[in-house]
Amino acid sequence: MTESLDELIQKHLDGRTSTEEAEALSARIVADQEVRGRYLQAAQIHGALADETLALDVELEPDATATAPKPQKVIWQFAWPRQIAAGLVAGMVAGLLGAGMVWAIGSPKAEARVFDIAHGDFESMAEGPTPTQFPVRFGDWSGNPAEVVKEADGNKLLRLVRTANVMGDPDGFASNCSVFQLVDLSALRQQWNAEQSQAQFSLNLSARFRRDPAPNDADLQKAKCSARIFLFQAEPESIGDAWPQVVRQAEALGKKSIKLKPGEDAEISASCILDSEATVALIAVAASAGFNSRTSVPLGGYFVDDVQLTVIKQPKLPVQVVSR
């Protein structure tokens, strides 16, 4: 092949491969574990590029409501050009399970520890608007129009005011209200020695969302709220400079979205594996209008509170495949 593997994968995700190229890529995915990993990671990132407009959320994600039993692990949606290779991966896994038995020796329990993020409960923040820009340093909440408000009982929380384009692009979409924070992962590694090779670490972002009744609820019947986490090996200020295209360079990512009816509240969580040299986590809480728009849309009564980042440590278990 004259193209590099990454170029071919991207071409396939964009739906531009010929039948022969797609079949050749599928064969490599089945035969090579590293190729499978690179393909699936690229597919995740390819989908996440739609986050600035949330078009993928509107068109492809199955509906979820606050009455769903429990937040489920994110299953990434693949458009038609990606289904050939993804289907072959699934078939290959099923074949392996049919040919042998996968087992692990010993099962030490996982450990979880809450990693303090700045102003996760918004109590220490002053009431009023948050900065309307992409964050450039650790520990600041900023993004699309939002404000810290105090309720009658004295509790402070974040109100997502209206959708906008966080980069200020007059020709860009303004379909969601995302508020971001950059988190220093080096501090996390120091706290819990996350460099240990015998352990696997994952990060779980959780947030409590609430939707109060509002006059424009009839216009927001497909609105969703979401939690997102991206891991980068980069300088904090460089992420905003290239947003959202920089998502292609993410080491890992996780996303979960849910629909809330007026009067409902729910906790949303999204997870990703911390198995790289990532130095920065970008976390985001958001609400979308539920449709693509190039103009700002008032969001009514969306609120966020109790944003937490939990580190989960699991031993890397020895795994053996036994042929029958």
d(CA 129, CA 123): 14
Amino acid in position 212: D
Is residue 272 within 8 Å of residue 229, measured between CB atoms?
Answer: yes
Count of other CB atoms within 10 angstroms of residue 98? 8
Angstrom distance (rounded) from CA 89 to CA 204: 26
**Residue 108: predicted pLDDT:** 56
Q: What is the pLDDT of residue 46?
A: 54
Q: What does the block give as tokens for 112?
A: 């979880």
Residue where the block lists tokens 């972002």: 205
Please check the confidence at residue 324 and state whether its pLDDT lies above 70.
no
Contact 58, 290 (CB under 8 A): yes
User: Residue length, the chain?
Assistant: 324
- Mean of the pLDDT values across residues 182-189? 85
pLDDT value for 19: 81
Residue 168 has pLDDT above 90, yes or no: no
Give the start-to-end residue ranges of the domains of the chain.
5-105, 111-315
111-315 CATH, one of 3.50.50.60, 3.40.50.300, 2.60.40.10, 2.60.120.260:
2.60.120.260
Are 140 and 118 spatial neighbours (Cβ–Cβ below 8 Å)? yes
Cα-based angle 302, 308, 263 (whole degrees, multiple of 5): 25
Q: DSSP character for 52? A: G
pLDDT 10s digits, 71-81: 333 333 334 44
The answer to whether residues 201 and 195 touch, using CB atoms and an 8 Å cutoff, is: no
In whole angstroms, give the CA distance from residue 163 to residue 132: 11
* pLDDT (tens digit per residue) in 293-317: 889 999 989 999 999 999 988 776 5
**Other Cβ atoms closer than 10 A to 80:** 7
Residue 292 phi, psi (nearest 5) = -75, 135
One-letter amino acid of 228: R
**Separation of alpha carbons 220 and 244, rounded Å:** 24
